[in-house]
């Protein structure tokens, strides 16, 4: 399994729009991408402008396919001006061993 975490800081005037866009992106990813197993969207209880993503894919190749998808590219382009910071981390599952 291949896990991605993303922490976004969003301009306050675009928080609502961003949340709608990222939820739509998450739903489409899970529904249409066979390698996307989980896509959680979380909002900080301390700062509603901080949005955390937890995404699980079958492999790095499945994540790369996500990055190339039309819905992701549209989301990324339209929301980029609303983002003040973005921290992305990638993790490979080591235990329990998945056999992948």
Spatial neighbors of 63 by CB under 8 A, at least 6 apart, are 2, 4, 35, 55, 57, 90
* pLDDT tens figures, 14-59: 999 999 999 999 999 999 999 999 999 999 999 999 999 999 999 9
Q: Which residues pair with 3 in a beta bridge?
A: 56, 91
Report percent pLDDT > 90 for the chain.
Answer: 92
Structure tokens, 54: 């937890």
Query: Is the alpha carbon torsion for 60, 63, 65, 67 positive or negative?
Result: negative
């Amino acid at each position: 399994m291949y896990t991605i975490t993303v922490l976004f800081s969003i301009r306050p005037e675009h928080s609502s729009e961003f949340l709608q866009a990222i939820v739509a992106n998450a739903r489409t990813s899970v529904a249409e991408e066979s390698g996307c197993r989980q896509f959680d969207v979380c909002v900080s209880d301390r700062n509603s402008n901080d949005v955390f993503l937890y995404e699980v894919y079958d492999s790095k190749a499945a994540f790369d396919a996500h990055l190339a998808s039309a819905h992701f590219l549209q989301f990324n382009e339209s929301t980029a001006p609303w983002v003040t910071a973005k921290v992305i981390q990638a993790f490979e599952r080591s235990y329990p061993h998945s056999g992948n």
